[in-house]
Structures are given as structure tokens and as C-alpha cells.
Amino acid sequence: MKSPRFLHAFLAFFLGFSLVAVSGDAALPVHKKKGEPPARKTTPHPKKSRKKGKPKRPATPPRRSRAVPREHRSPVPPPPIPVLPPFDPGTLPVVSVEMPREALDPFFRGLSALETPGGENGPARVVRVLHFGDSHVAADYWSGEIRRLLQQRFGDAGAGYVMPGRPWKYFRHALAKTLDGDGWQAVGLKEPPPDGVAGLSGVSLAPTRETPASVRAPGRNFKVTLAVGSDNAPVRLLVDDAPVDNLVVNSRWINSGGSDVALLSISNRDPLPDATRKFTVLTPPGTGTRLLGAEFTSGRNGVILDTLGLNGGRMTALEKWSPRMRRQLLQDAKPSLVIVSYGTNEIAAKKFTFEGFKADCVRVLRALREDAGGAAILVTGPADRAVKTKRGWAAMSDAERPVIRALREAAAETGCAFWDLQAAMGGEGAVLAWIRAGLAQRDGVHFTQAGYELQARMLHDRLMAIYEATRKPLPAAAADDNGVR
């Protein structure tokens, strides 16, 4: 029998090529002709083992069709978005002041006395307006424009009440500029003071170190008011960084919140030349002394409007003073008109109830009427508000209606006048048009300076319309006893 090696050699010779036999992992030897070089051991090139053409890309999932199914397709294209007409203040509704008969007479009698000839050589006739409110009032754009319009017609009696020393970061007054105040702490901004002692704005300043609290304001006369624990409190007053002579110092003790406190007032005896000056108050810490505010008057007949707003204020902010302290401040101010502008922050209150808010308004307005000594009181409703959601702007009408209704009913029950600011803006949702016109801020709550000034003109025009319709010229002899001080 032929051996396997013989058969391998025979097949290699017959077919004309070398055959390599493999048994397990070892290669069998290849037989060649005598004198022939050994065959080279080769392996296939990796590139030759691939198929020609571009390499395949990894498989991707099939794309989903974005086409709208036929059953959901609209046969008619949607209508184009309407282009809103430009905002025209002339098209805003004329909203009258709602009031009981003769509710604003004390204010109108004072204005009439200013336009009545006579009394030029006597004390200056001053009609004073106090404007309490929230952040809409605090910036002095709204109230500042009302002040400007009234003083333009009836005379400029001065800048009025100003808080020296920058009681909060963004404090602003249109006619005065606060300075310094880094070493003074504001008391009453968020929580009522423990003893109920504060200035007309509801805030006082307590020194933490002996540093100045200053204000630059125009006027020929000034009066600085402080709350002190003794008649000999160490207080220094500088005018243009120099001591002042011929000062008048008065003090009176009152019981506020169960403790006795002296209200110290410092004023000039002789009128100063009419100019803008820097007034500075200095007092050491630890004496219990608090700065309540300063007042600047021109010495001429006219109107003073005091801006008394606090950021975040609500109607109950008018109760942060002790009853005795509030009565004393209002009696000293002798206002002819008190404007009350709250409601914006109540709209967003989480625990708001109509019954509770109305009860608060009735209680506060009754006490205010009693303490203000017969002054007219005007309540203004809140401005329209909107909130920005994921779907866009949304009006807050459901929250606004009970607030406005409570203010309107409380004003009627207490004999106060009422003016609906939201209606004057154009009604529910009107703030969106004000935003597009650049008259309101993008927060949907506050307004630009132009927006506040427009609101001021609307309210001023309504008041003047009533004044002209009811005006009765006063005899010159009676002018001093009708709404002026």
C-alpha cells in the first residue's frame, strides 16, 4: 500500500503546485524539486480580503415622519395673527372719582383759598397732601408728577417730607437727594417698630456709629424731627457742613407703645436764602435716638405733596405706628387730603380673603379719618397686573376683582372717595397693552416713569374736573380757615 507521503508528492507534481497539508496545529513539509529554492510562506493581505467599495455605516433607526396625519390636517390654513393697533392714551376711558357728597371738600376749599387774592403779607398758605402706598408710590414718579401738576397751578410750597440718610437702597425723591447714611439702621421697613415710634413714612433711622445722615434739598425753611430718650440728647445739625445758629428746638413727651418718648424738632428761626443745601444730622449710637425725618418748605403759598410709600406695603402698614404716635404725626402735618394707594401686594397674597381684607380696610380708614382731623381721604384701587407663565402672559383678573371690590366698599362705608385705577388703565388685562407701549415693566407689576406720569395725569385731571365743577370762590377773609395751614 502506498504511503500518504507518496500520494502527496504525486499530486503536487501532477497538478503543478505545492500543497501544504496541515495536521492539527503543525504544517506538513512541502516537497519540491531538486535545486528549487524553498517556497515563501505567505498570508493574505488584510485589504485584499475586504470587498471593494465604501465601508458600511452603522445602522441607524428609521426616522419618524413629521408629517401631520391626514385625519388631523386642516382643510383651511389658520388665520394670520392680527396686528394690534398702537397704544393711544387718548382712547383710555374717563373714570370718575366715586365719592359721597362733599367727601373731597376740605381739599378743594384749600385749593380755592390758594387762588383767592389776599394774605400775601401774612404766613404762607399751604395745602398739604399725604400720599401713602406701596412701591408704586415709593419711587415718587406717580406722586411726584401729581405734585408737579398741582404746584404748577397752585404754587410751590416746597419739597415737603424727606427721609435723610438713604433709608433703603433705592430711595428716591423727585425734589431731594439723600446722602450718606451707611452708619444708620432702618427700623420699621419690614416689621413694625416695637414701641410704635416711626416717622411719617413708617420708618425711622437709628445710628450704629457716629456717621452723618444727610439730604440735599431746596427750601428756605427746614425742620428735623427725632425721637429721643431725654431732653438733652446729643444731636448736631449741619447746613452745608457748617454749624447753624439761631435754631428753634422744641420737644414734647408722648406715651407710645407703653413707653415715654420725646419728639424733638429742630428748625431755623430766620428764613434762609432760597437755594438747595445739604443738611446733615449727627448723633452718637447707644442713646436711643432715632431720626424720624426732615421737612423743607419754600415759605411761599402753594401745595406740598409728601411721598410716603414703602416697598411691599399693604393697607395694614398704616397701623405700624402706635395710635398715639400716628395721631401726633398727622396732627403736626395738618393735611388737607390723604391719598391711600394699596392693593397691589394683596392681589398676590396667599391667604387672602375678601371678608378679612375688607374688615382691615374699614378699620384702618376709620382710624385715619379720625386722626387726620377732618382731612379728605381718597382711596385708589390697584393697577392692573399680569403674570408670565410658560404659555405667555396671563391677567390676574380673578385675584384683582375681590381686592378692588373690598376697597370700593370700604371707602363707601367710611365716607372716603374712591378711584378705580385698573378701569382707568383700560380694564382687566390692560397692563399687557401698557407693556407693549413701553409704559409698564416686563414684570407685569410696575410701570416705567412715563407710565406712572400718565396715571398721575389721569388722576389729576379727574380731581381738577370735580374742583372746577364745584368751585366756589371764597372771600379773602375766610381763606385762612379753609383747608390751609
- The three-point CA angle 290-292-293 to 5° equals 135
Classify residue 414 by burial, with Cβ atoms within 10 Å: 0-12, 13-18, 19+.
buried
Name the nearest CA neighbour of 160 among 168, 170, 146, 169.
Answer: 146
Query: Quick one: residue 143, left, alpha or beta (phi over 0 = left, psi -120 to 50 = alpha)?
Result: alpha
CATH number at residue 348: 3.40.50.1110
Q: What is the mean pLDDT of the chain?
A: 85
Task: Spell out the residues 6+ positions from residue 344 whose beta carbon is closer than 8 angstroms to its own.
Answer: 134, 135, 136, 382, 383, 385, 445
pLDDT band at 133 (very low <50, low <70, confident <90, very high): very high
Residue 386 lies in a domain: yes
Percent of the chain with pLDDT over 90: 64
pLDDT in tens, 429-446: 999 999 999 999 999 999
pLDDT in tens, 334-343: 999 999 999 9
pLDDT band at 101 (very low <50, low <70, confident <90, very high): confident
d(CA 357, CA 192): 19
pLDDT band at 388 (very low <50, low <70, confident <90, very high): confident
CB 384 within 8 A of CB 425: yes
Residue 256 lies in a domain: no
Residue 260: all three cell numbers together: 415715654
Query: What pLDDT is recorded for position 22?
Result: 42
Answer yes or no: pTM beyond 0.75: yes
Residue 64 lies in a domain: no
Domain of residue 137, residue span: 95-157+302-481
Residue 228 lies in a domain: no
Name the nearest CA neighbour of 274 among 217, 196, 313, 338.
Answer: 217
Question: Which H/E stretch holds residue 145?
Answer: helix 142-154
Residue 429 lies in a domain: yes
Query: What pLDDT is recorded for position 259?
Result: 84
Residue 50 lies in a domain: no
pLDDT in tens, 43-100: 555 555 555 556 666 666 666 655 556 555 556 665 554 455 678 888 899 999 999 9
CB 414 within 8 A of CB 369: yes
Residue 465 lies in a domain: yes
Stretch among 22-26, 129-133, 362-366 having the lowest mean pLDDT: 22-26
d(CA 134, CA 144): 14
pLDDT in tens, 421-431: 999 999 999 99
- Total domain count, the chain: 1
